[in-house]
Amino acid sequence: MKKILLTFIVLISLVNTLSAQKLYSFLDVGEPVNKYPAVTWLKGSGITQFEKDKIYVVELWATWCKPCIKSMPHMSELATKFKDKITFIAQDVWEEDTTKVRQFISNNASFFTNSMVAFDGVQNKGDFDRNWLKPSGTFGIPRTFLIRNNTIAWITFPFELTEEHLQLLLEGKLTKENATAIVQKNKQ
Amino acid sequence: MMTLRQVLAGSAMLTMTVASFALHAQVQPFTVEGQMGKDQQGMLSYRYVSLNKIVQDSVKVINGAFRFSGEVDEPAATTLIFMPENKSIKGQFKEIFIDPGATLTMKGDANLLSTQTKGGPSQSDLDALFELYKPLSVKGPELEKQFKEYQDAGDEANMKRVGQQLQDLRLERRNIQEAFAKKYLNSFVGFSLWTRHVDGFIKDPVKYEAEFNAYSPAVRNTPTGKRIALNLATARKLLAGTQAPDFTLNDINGKPVSLSSFKGKNVLLCFWNRNFIPFEPFSFALNKISRVLKDENLVILAVYCDDDQKRWHSEVEEAGFTTPNFINVINPVKQSAEADTTPIGKSYNLSLGMIPHNFVIGTDGKILVRDIDLGLEPEVAIGKIINK
């Protein structure tokens, strides 16, 4: 009986995986986003969809990604500054070991004080990989997505993202052009 | 960050170097006979390419003597590695050049590096090339040793300085090779140095044709020579301004579709499959082109180059190549390093290393641009080209 039940459960989960919904074919600046892919939330209440009147920053990282970790103090500073206005999601991608990720979060709690943290799993397996990374043509991390009004407002890197950008985003004035201009200005 | 083109080229490069054509080449036997110092015992492994296949084997070295033979269809660059029986002695590496029909002798009184190789014009040419390398072969190891010392000491300033010197040395070596290739026009050694700088797909056939034609007929008529001549001829037919070769393939509903049926529209002709990485930037770029240029007079003719129809259907879906301006057709041939010999494969020079590959074709059916860089805002570039 046990065996039959187990087979049954395996079958059900298989069917579930196969019928997993394709959320997005293409994600870029200006594209609409509603649902958040199915991930495991390691810190914070988590979200399943983007709410229309809320603003989000989704930051991609992994424990093996040195530049991601290097930019964490900066991102955490921004998250603290905008904690009442913007939801920060630190989305872990492309790694297998949840324990390692949990350990990293507890060892570096200060990086995530005002961020939610989500875990997706290995490449080609996770829902976030299929429904976010692939449609957005992402093949390297870190990478940062800004979402406002159920639309991707800008895609950038954490070390290029500044308070000035987030202020414009809050005011609904951030465009790809002025965002890039700020990056250029800061480089000089 | 690397551009997409570089990444794709990297994955293509692996297969490109062995890209080959079925030619009716004749093979001829060869023999290599060697005598090192009598105290040398161990294994000698060798590696060369014949009839586009890598041949790899090894022979025993007993009291310094060894012998191996085989068949080659053209002069073959051959690498030898001698691993002494006594494991505390380091292995040695040597390069020789084997001509079809040649008997080569390698004589020396100590290890493999002490041997002098005689026999065949290609080997003499290789000796001449190594003579030119001589100053570098002393300087190179010295600099590498210095670099390692600075590295261990964490001396970054000196690492940078020596690193630059090593870089200069590599450039010097390249210059020697280029000069040699230009001077030795009746030499397969010179010719094979030249072929190293010829891409798998040739974008500028006019320039390369002139260089190719400078070589003697004997060199040009080797299998490698014939393959390059064929690539040059194909590249000429795919130059901007020429009519894109027509073809008819079945679309996703099994209905035949011809390239020529799109006359009056601009076409982004794109050959693809799932056998290259990273795939996502590629599919993202096509999706972006599809959306940004949706109101332009453009169709994306995506030719899937693989024989698995079922996989094709699911991959088209997964990649999102389903917007109205996408036309999906299939060239049902499993691509390999060998050239695709179907009519469309021949006319577009398709092979595993060639994919992905794209052409922007104008409303008159003439090629406007070959191989747009999909990593650098291709939607902007294509928009400009078709609205000229």
CATH code: domain of residue A110: 3.40.30.10
Are B285 and A138 an interchain contact pair (Cβ–Cβ within 8 Å)?
A: no
What does each C-alpha distance from B250 to A50, B327, B342 come to in angstroms? 41, 10, 15
Q: How confident is the model at residue A124 (pLDDT cuts 50, 70, 90)?
A: confident
Nearest CA in chain B to A25: B320
pLDDT at A20: 62
- Closest residue in A to B2 (Cα–Cα): A140
Task: Enumerate the residues of chain A whose CB falls inside 8 A of the CB of residue B274.
Answer: none
Cβ contact, residue pair B288, A28, below 8 Å: yes
Interatomic CA distance for residues B221 and B214, integer angstroms: 13
Identity of the residue numbered A126: G
Please tell me which residue of chain A has the smallest CA distance to B320.
Answer: A25
Rounded CA gap, B108 and B116, in Å?
6
Residue B374: closest C-alpha in chain A = A137
Residue B235's identity, in one-letter code, is: A
- Interface of A to B at Cβ within 8 Å reads 22, 25-26, 28, 133-140
**Chain A environment of B320 (Cβ under 8 Å):** 25-26, 135
Q: Are domains B1-189 and B248-386 of this chain identical in fold?
A: no
Q: Does B284 touch chain A (CB under 8 A)?
A: yes
Contact B320 A25 (CB under 8 A): yes
User: Letter for the amino acid at B69?
Assistant: S
What residues of chain B lie within 8 A of the CB of A143, using their CB? none
Which residues on chain B are in Cβ contact (under 8 Å) with A139?
7, 278, 280-281
Number of domains chain A contains = 1
**Amino acid present at B116:** Q
B285: closest CA of chain A, how far (Å) = 8
Looking at B93-155, list the stretches that DSSP marks H as alpha helix, in order from N- to C-terminal side: 121-153
CB contact under 8 A, A135 and B318: no
Query: Residue B388's pLDDT is what?
Result: 77
Both tokens of residue A19? 């019928």
Q: What is the mean pLDDT of residues A114-123?
A: 95
Give pLDDT, residue A181. 96
CATH, range B1-189: 2.60.40.1120
Q: What residue spans define the domains of chain B?
A: 1-189, 190-236, 248-386
Q: Does B287 contact chain A (CB < 8 Å)? A: yes
User: A72: domain range?
Assistant: 24-159
Q: Do B320 and A133 touch (CB under 8 A)?
A: no
**B280 reaches A (C-beta below 8 A):** yes
Overall average pLDDT of the A86-96 stretch: 97
Tens of pLDDT along A18-37?
446 789 999 999 999 999 99
CB B289 within 8 A of CB B299: no
B59: CB partners within 8 A, 6+ apart: B43, B44, B46, B66, B67, B68
The rounded distance, in Å, linking the Cα atoms of A119 and A46 is 11
Class of domain B248-386: alpha beta
Q: Count the Cβ atoms, other than its own, within 10 Å of residue A65.
A: 18
Neighbours of A15 (CB within 10 A): 10
Task: Find chain B residues with C-beta within 8 A of A136's C-beta.
Answer: 284
Close Cβ partners of B349 (under 8 Å, ≥ 6 residues apart) = B201, B231, B234, B235, B238, B339
Tell whether B288 is within 8 A of chain A (Cβ).
yes
- Mean predicted lDDT score pLDDT of chain A: 91
B138: three-class secondary structure by DSSP: helix
Quick check: B369 and B357 in contact, CB under 8 A? Answer: no
Residue of A27, A127, A139, A160 to mutate, interface with B, max B Cβ within 10 Å: A139
**Sequence-separated (6 or more) residues with CB below 8 Å from residue A188:** none
Q: Under an 8 A CB cutoff, do A133 and B280 touch? A: yes
Confidence (pLDDT) at B14: 38
A170-188 confidence digits (pLDDT tens):
999 999 999 999 999 999 8
Given a contact cutoff of 8 angstroms between Cβ atoms, the answer to whether B75 and B222 are in contact is yes
Cβ contacts of B287 on chain A, cutoff 8 Å: 25-26, 135
Q: What is the pLDDT of residue B198?
A: 82
In tens digits, chain B (388 residues) has pLDDT values of 344 444 444 444 333 333 344 444 589 999 999 999 999 999 999 999 999 889 999 999 999 999 999 999 999 999 999 999 999 999 999 999 999 999 999 999 999 999 999 999 999 999 999 999 998 988 999 999 999 999 999 898 999 999 999 999 999 999 999 999 999 999 999 999 999 888 777 878 889 999 999 999 999 999 999 989 988 998 899 999 999 999 999 999 999 999 999 999 999 999 999 988 889 999 999 999 999 999 999 999 999 999 999 999 999 999 999 999 999 999 999 988 777 889 999 899 888 888 999 999 999 999 999 989 998 899 999 999 998 7
Q: Which of B7, B320, B322 sits opposite A135 (nearest CB)?
A: B320
| Residue type at B261 in one-letter notation | S
Q: Which two tokens stand for residue B34?
A: 């060697």
ipTM of the complex: 0.81
Instruction: Report pLDDT digits (tens) over A1-19.
Output: 445 545 555 444 444 444 4
A156-A161-A163-A166 Cα dihedral, nearest 10 degrees: 10
The two tokens of residue B67 are 């012998």
Testing the interface with B: which of A134, A155, A176 to mutate, by most B Cβ within 10 A?
A134
Residue of A nearest to B3 (CA): A139
Mutation choice for A interface testing from B280, B293, B313 by most A CBs within 10 A: B280
